Amino acid sequence: MSKTHVTTSINASLHEFLCEPGDTLLDVLRNELQLTGTKEGCGTGDCGACSVTLNGRLVCACLVLAVEVEGMEVGTIEGIGQSDSLDVIQEKFLEHAALQCGICTPGLIVSTKALLDENPDPTEAEARYYLAGNLCRCTGYDKIIRAVMDAAATLGGAKEGV
């Protein structure tokens, strides 16, 4: 089967790859581009471990065909934080011990960033419902939600200060 050539932006840098029509964005990120920070927990869109953004919209990379991302902007965990400093969300996850095994963490951080981009000042209930698509089996979510609320407060505070 002939492969399709795709040009896309991933974390603001231009990427080209060849894929088969059935390949998912997750397959390509992990196996072709070695961007393994995006995890696979189910392959059916139920767990959120592969959360990425497409043109700013939160999606499961396992439910997106790789050919669909032609000309789009893909955001992954590798694009959050700088090479020498963490994003506030990442810092708050660490400060609050909001991860145990860490497999769901990249997806949760991508989702939290999408949440706070959409709704900078969420209520606890809004945060819980927005993140309901990201399964975590270790923490019981308590510390994750605390980290998210703290990140929102910190970012909000920063905005007020500007």
Query: How far is 115 from 137, CA to CA, in rounded Å?
Result: 21
How many residues contact other proteins, by CB under 8 A?
Answer: 60
Of residues 2 and 161, the one with the C-beta less far from other proteins: 2
Distant-in-sequence, close-in-space partners of 2: CB < 8 Å, separation ≥ 6: none
CA distances from 19 to 41, 51, 57 (A): 22, 20, 23
Regarding 143 and contact with other proteins (CB under 8 A), the answer is yes
Closer by beta carbon to other proteins, 31 or else 55? 31
Residue placing its CB nearer to other proteins in the complex, 23 or 72: 23
Smallest gap from Cβ 79 to other proteins, in A, equals: 9
* Span from 27-35, 66-74, 114-122, 154-162 in contact with other proteins (CB under 8 A): 27-35
Q: Single out the residue of 19, 41, 51, 59 in contact with other proteins (rule: CB under 8 A).
A: 41
State the residues that interact with other proteins by CB under 8 A: 20, 22, 27, 30-31, 34-44, 46-47, 49, 76-78, 80-81, 86, 90, 93-97, 99-106, 109, 125, 127-129, 131-146
